[in-house]
Structure 1
């Protein structure tokens, strides 16, 4: 009689029973192909698994790798021979809930206790031990391990799951692990994707050898084997249920649309339950607030248990949502963010309601801020969501938008590396030895501008050296699970506010909890009391950070010396140390608008407890419109109050005192200004120095040109005459265009500039004499001949010549004169040595134009007759002779003649 198989906990080194684990899973049929690819060449191989969600790849691939690694040990092959440990497989999951869920499911199928053969590690929580064979971790955990152990010497295989989501940390891992395999040929590396982009990842993690299982590219490089799996989806019915209201407005997702999603979910689930009582529903909305709103409305309309699934929910709430319905339990509706899109299987779901929206990171380069924005989800994401309904039987997806919107959506989600703040990533790369990602095979190169900004931040923190590699301090900052700026503030702030307070502040800012009303101190109080669901994880982060501070505080040069900070301002002080460019002051008379030291304006959310505080240290600010942004285009999401003195201490390197001189009411005036970045602290009038006056004059001339001083009538006339001569005769007549004059101010305007710099008013300066300094000698003596101010006409009058504007290249000198004053004038006068004919505007007795000509002889012989016929009756007192050649020229009427 055969004895029953002992539990896995009693046989820790036994191989995994893939037949039992893979029962009913579609990927079981592909295990042989994957095993062949990984065993090729007699050492660790690489592969890309391309399989739709629900096929079982996350459940089956890790134990297969563990069995292959165990064979290598028992067979005495390669680097595994002779070692005294069992196999070790590390699997990344992009989300904490997915890591916990995958580990729990695999442990159940294996018949072992969670934490023994199969475990997980996420931030603030570890359920694994020395004998753990398969460990599920988040990408950030594996990045930390790579930095402390670049060879991963105790790991036999790494599985990067959900690489198609293009998370920043997963992208970094792809490049870094490809380098590890160049040194460790025995390390197996598998990337798993749910989309059709597998060949791209195959090229990145290529095995580098040309043995069986590796295709060869045209340049000789190896490609990892791509292992496909047919879809495990059952038939899926798609229904379109667009709302009659807008999905988005300037404030984000509209409440009316969320109500439509909730009502659609309630009615669709009720209809599904009528046909099959075992149907659960999964509703996708973009963020935690939307989850709460839709869930709240559903609880009053749906005959089902309504659960919420998002990153801010407690681990217990998340685990309950992704677990199946208990036997005899009520039907369930799970309202989720994209967290349930691809890395989780929620048992019982046969109906999906999709809002078609997602929240993705975006960086506003102009304002220097990053944040999440609500956008239409990609078509690939929409297909992933729909597939959740057809994993365990025929399903239905109801899309709360129309087919045109679906078709207009992007094909794939934007890679995080293209839109996120790269400061943390830049530090990881600097610690790895690839500054800025240089030489690393990443799926997409980081944007040069964003990476440049990140590197500059790290340089200011002292985290990197001249070559771009991490300093000793930088390596310490990389070990702290927070943004490098927060990590430096943790070390700097500990000496002033204490280790515990600094650790608590950094942990809460680095976490993903939303501060109520943007009040960071209120959130911190809730976490300290233990009432917040995330308190346990936060306290674990605090413990770790406090331990790092106590161990590493010596590496920080303590140049920060400030007066003791009041307990009520300690949180704001640490936040200000981390983000000095976000220290903010209330704008007088502007409601709840604040000016950040970076120059950005932002508003507090309506009803925020922080309203009325003069100074804030802002931990998070993002783009927004509408009421919450107070008309600024940005909203403060998280902040803590502080005093003016504490604000100056936190952002001390932004303090500057300058004398600003400028033109006011026609003369140079100056003020002594004290600023904290863009924030004006004080401004008092002072007498400018000569140098400050010169700078102000130069700045005013550069901005407004010579119009700052102004052209008198005489100066403008002289400039026009000189401009015509320069145009027609060239050198030595000077170029008097605005650009030319500004370029040689010292040649003609130096005394006047000194006078202005000393406080003289522009009203007392006439540019006529300065312009005369540019006249060429001895040619200047002929100015009145070449370009006279006036022209004597046959009547004896001297008429002013209007020269063209100095900036015009083709204008003509004009003489406007009464027609009768030119009788008998046959030859048109010419200027500039005969090069330019004067253009005559012949006027009526009322000085209205009758004709325009530069050929007087032709005018008298032709058009004059028609002008005479039209005008003699209108102006009978003035002469209109038939023969203008012989008539005396006159400016008088006939009676006065």
Structure 2
């Protein structure tokens, strides 16, 4: 079929109306922001028009289109080639990692943003390229942000004639317009708006029938997945027989889910539907991806198929991740089901672990998903949440630069000549902590020098097309285990193998080598690419820190895989801690699954791990057994010998030793004979702060003295000292002395410490017993201990011993009355009062009436203020008590005189 025969296809694309304005903007300013809604043709028609391939008189130019994903790049190139009646590799080609279809006639080349970055690093001027279109900028992928920053720099300093377009469907166009010209100061770039929203799409909200638990980590509530599956069935009904969206009897359903695991589970729930259930994600085989994107046309796998794939055949349910949100047209789709979830990268810099987090999809991404239903005809979209929840959803997806591991970005920036990225045109500033962590990694692997500038080794790493850690593993692994083994192991690490391969990286490598599945095919292609990359970037430089080239035969295959894993992730080298657990050099504890063949390995190199929310242990997904020598070699930068003087919480004492470590992993230790006294003292102080003052010797007198001083400090303030734990620990340096161990602390008398804090200088210490007596003498002659542990000092005494006391004694210079706990003859509480006079008048008689029958041998006088106090009892005392007179059979005791002119109070108590 000729291009002319397909001209009607591009004539219908709404973006065609915006082409004159776009050309005018590029001619006048050299740059523009193209804001085009989904389905308008910005990805396919605009590059053809700019390259002069539409027979509309436009001059021929070479156009480079950058897409965020391999699937999108290949699909866009195939679609453009189809519009021209050609196959990829003629006027339109593509280059992605591991696959390239470009010929001498190619004028539009579609690449991934990663490939674009590689080209910019090799030659910043991009010779031969006239126009660069960076597509789907709104997705805020890190590579795309970086590529735009570099291109803005190129236009400002090297090639002002290079035309640059940032294409977006939903993002803030004004911000991009400012960014594209921020370095040349020419003012905001023109924004060209393409009208048209494709076909109408009806949006229906279908919340789950019952509440579902929020997702965390990569866990998603199975109840939500069951609801999504039910909604897919509803969507199938809605596009049958012309219902809902007018999609005819054979409308397909596109369902968005956060990840591959959720896709597999929902596919299992849809096993009985009358449709083909297909799975579309980045790890799906290229043939599967192409088949989905071709639609239900004739089974033609060539690039020259004349059908657009929307014809007959069984209906399809396509379960997809966010790869299908943009850049792709999935033919035949008339209904979209949106689970409302997406996955975003997260990095735990403290533990050196990367992970994915399940988050609520942003409003912008959800709008993109809705648009998939209206690419070819009117459709319907089902959102699996309540409409009211839209207000709590983020407006845009999180920019990857703010949440991801920035090691690769930091290396790109250093190679570009901006180690701190301060000179780059970025919408978001990279977080300082993430950049510091990235530079630390790059320094450890020799990619940058102490000044942050890229080294020759770092430049070679950047050209390998790998993340820096894997680049280091490939280079140093080639020296250690041989190029072929290194390439095979790194290829395994560059894309996590299927779970059914197991968690032993050596066994997974063997499975990939003999496997005929999609992963095995991709693995073999990547091995070939890495082998070629090693050859093309070969250098006479030695690998720093790794010694001379080792005999590749000195390690068996399993050892070679472990060595490469350890080189890639030295901080994840771990020593076994029993029961399938290990401690990694980073300090993170990790655990193998039950039944893992690696559970008996003394050392591990962990390739893939994640840490579930709330779990102290990381889960090992992929690892390899290594020996200690390999661990030491790979993680040599983490090796150290230090003197350690600290308080050991497990032993409860000071530990002083010389320790050899590999990061957080202890290799050996020996006691220190003469540790620094200052460090020992600080360790003892740490022990006190951690375990508390209970390490000292606390007698009953010491505890009593502390309570009395706390009372005086609370009531009178200075100069009476604060004796709380915090205050005593803060002044511990003043009273600790030469204590060097737990045993020495136990010999410190807390009473002497407290006495040393008394206000001796001003003489107030002499009034301690007057203001806060330890004991108070009551009318019976007993000396009763005062309790100072509560908010008010307490005197607990038998009621009969207080006969004759008319007023409550007061402490702290008369400020605080004693709280008297009046006890029965059996020592049980009978009444509580801080006002004895009032109690004798109003409360005593009811207590007397209640208790004298139970205790007839004890005196219960009518007037307790004039009765004889007593500690003793006789058989006649009860009768005398009932008569209201002193017991005749008792030895009378001289009444204790009270303070002058104010009732009676015991000697030693403060006067009221």
Whether 1:54 and 2:39 are equivalent positions in the alignment is yes
CA distance, structure 2, for counterparts of residue 676 and residue 191 of structure 1: 47
Paired residue for 1:146, among 117, 120, 127? Answer: 120
Moved more, 848-857 or 100-109: 848-857
* SS of residue in 2 equivalent to 1:518: coil
Kept in 1: contact 2:487–2:527 (CA 8 A): no
Residue matched to 2:199: 234
Quick check: 1:662 aligned with 2:642? no
> Which residue number corresponds to residue 841 of structure 1?
821
Among 639, 646, 655, the alignment partner of 2:630 is 646
Residues 576 and 582 of structure 2 are in contact (CA less than 8 Å); yes or no, is this contact kept in structure 1? yes
Contact 2:652 2:687 (C-alpha < 8 Å) held by counterparts:
no
**Aligned equivalents of 2:775, 2:665: Cα separation in 1:** 57
Distance in 2 (CA, whole Å) between partners of 1:666 and 1:56 is 71
Q: What does 1:306-385 correspond to in 2, within 5 Å?
A: 307-324=278-295, 325-326=297-298, 330-331=313-314, 333=316, 334-364=318-348, 367-385=351-369
Instruction: Tell me the secondary structure at the aligned position of residue 132 of structure 2.
Output: strand
1:280–1:349 contact (8 Å) kept in structure 2:
yes
Map of 1:588 onto structure 2: 578
Alpha-carbon offset, residue 496 of structure 1: 1.7
**Of 715, 721, 735, which residue of structure 1 is paired with 2:702?**
715
Match of 2:428 among 440, 444, 451: 444
The answer to whether the aligner puts 1:394 opposite 2:378 as a matched pair is: yes
Kindly indicate whether residue 620 of structure 2 is the aligned counterpart of residue 600 of structure 1: no
1:66 is aligned to 2:51: yes
Mapped pair 1:896 → 2:890: yes
Paired residue secondary structure (2:427): coil
Once the two structures are superposed, residues 256-275 of structure 1 have per-residue CA deviations (whole angstroms, 9 ceiling, x without a partner) of 87677668757865885766
Q: Residue in 1 aligned with 2:751?
A: 768
Q: CA deviation at 1:817?
A: 2.7
In 2, the alpha carbon distance for the partners of 1:786 and 1:348 equals 92
Could you tell me how far apart the structure 1 residues matched to 2:474 and 2:391 are? 47
Q: CA deviation at 1:472?
A: 3.8
Give the match for residue 510 of structure 2: 525
The match for 2:686 is 699
Instruction: Give the aligned partner of residue 402 of structure 2.
Output: 418
Q: Quick one: distance in 1 between partners of 2:604 and 2:781?
A: 79
Q: Which moved more, 1:90-99 or 1:439-448?
A: 439-448
1:487 is paired with a residue whose SS is helix
Task: Report deviation, 1:342.
Answer: 1.1
- Given that residues 282 and 353 in structure 1 are in contact (C-alpha distance below 8 angstroms), is that contact kept between their aligned partners in structure 2? yes
Match of 2:607 among 619, 622, 640: 619
- Where does residue 13 of structure 1 map in the other structure? none
Q: 1:397 to 1:652 in 2, by over 3 A?
A: same
User: Counterpart in 2 of 1:570?
Assistant: 560
Residue 796 (structure 1) aligned with residue 768 (structure 2): no
Q: Deviations over 1:116-157 (max 9, x none)?
A: 443222112232356643221111111222233334354322
> For the Cα contact (< 8 Å) 1:593–1:632, is it kept in 2?
no
CA distance in 2, matches of 1:229, 1:28: 8
Secondary structure of 1:534's counterpart equals helix
Contact map agreement 2:252 2:315 (CA 8 A) in 1: yes
* Residues 1:866 and 1:562: Cα distance change in structure 2 (over 3 Å): farther
Query: In the aligned structure 1, how far is the partner of 2:524 from the partner of 2:468?
Result: 23
Query: Counterpart of 1:420 in 2: which secondary structure?
Result: coil
The number of residues matched between the two structures is 845
| Aligned equivalents of 1:312, 1:861: Cα separation in 2 | 90
| 2:155 matched residue in structure 1 | 181
Q: Match of 1:881?
A: 861
1:610/1:402 CA distance change after superposition, 3 Å: farther
CA deviations over 1:211-252 (Å, ceiling 9, x no partner) = xxxxxxxxx962222222222522435566777796988874
Whether contact under 8 Å (2:570, 2:635) holds in the other structure is: yes
Query: 2:302 matched to which residue of 1?
Result: none
Q: 1:29 aligns with which of 17, 30, 39?
A: 17
**Whole-Å Cα distance in 2 between the matches of residues 315 and 638 of structure 1?**
25
Cα shift readout 1:749-796 (whole Å, capped 9, x = no counterpart) = 415x24x45x4583x553223433444557355544554433333332
Shift of 1:844: 3.2
Aligned position for 2:177: 202
CA contact 1:91–1:136 (8 Å) conserved in 2: yes
1:747 aligns with 2:734: yes
Contact 2:93 2:106 in 1 (8 A): yes
Following superposition, the deviation at residue 675 of structure 1 comes to: 5.5
Whether the 8 Å CA contact 1:261–1:400 is kept in 2: the answer is: yes
8 Å CA contact 1:70, 1:87 repeated in 2 = no
RMSD: 4.3
Residue 59 of structure 1 and its aligned partner are, at CA, apart by: 1.9
Tell whether the 8 Å contact from 1:819 to 1:842 is kept in structure 2 after alignment. yes
Pairing partner for 1:105 from 75, 79, 84: 79
CA distance in 1, matches of 2:869, 2:270: 99
Once the two structures are TM-superposed, the CA of residue 509 in structure 1 deviates from its matched residue by: 1.3
Match of 2:108 among 134, 137, 152: 134
Question: Structure 2: how far apart are the matches of 1:347 and 1:556?
Answer: 53
Contact 2:77/2:109 (8 A) holds in 1: yes
CA contact (8 A) 2:47 2:63 kept: yes
2:121–2:416 CA contact under 8 A, matched in 1: yes
Partner of 1:11: none
Secondary structure of the residue aligned to 1:383 is helix
**8 Å Cα contact 2:475-2:543 kept in structure 1:** no
Report the 3-state secondary structure (helix = DSSP H, G, I; strand = E; otherwise coil) of the residue aligned with 2:164. strand
Q: Deviations over 1:366-417 (max 9, x none)?
A: 6542222344433433332333332223334455666566776544333222
Q: Deviations over 1:821-855 (max 9, x none)?
A: 33334565555555655444343333344454555
Partners of 1:172 and 1:384 in 2: CA distance: 23
Structure 1 residue 569: deviation in Å? 1.5
TM-score by length of 2: 0.80
The Cα of 1:46 is off from its aligned counterpart by 1.7
- Which residue is 2:803 aligned to? 823
Alpha carbons 1:35, 1:64 under 8 Å: kept:
no
**CA separation in 1, counterparts of 2:220 and 2:715?**
67
2: distance between equivalents of 1:191 and 1:635?
40
Q: Whole-Å Cα distance in 2 between the matches of residues 56 and 103 of structure 1?
A: 13
Scaled by the length of structure 1, the TM-score of the pair is 0.82
Distance 1:874 1:237 in 2: 87
Relative to structure 1, is the Cα distance of residues 514 and 360 closer, same or farther in structure 2, using a 3 angstrom cutoff? farther
Where structure 1 has 5 or more consecutive residues not aligned to the other structure, the ranges are: 9-15, 75-85, 210-219
How big is the shift at 1:622? Answer: 2.4
| Corresponding residue for residue 160 of structure 1 | 134
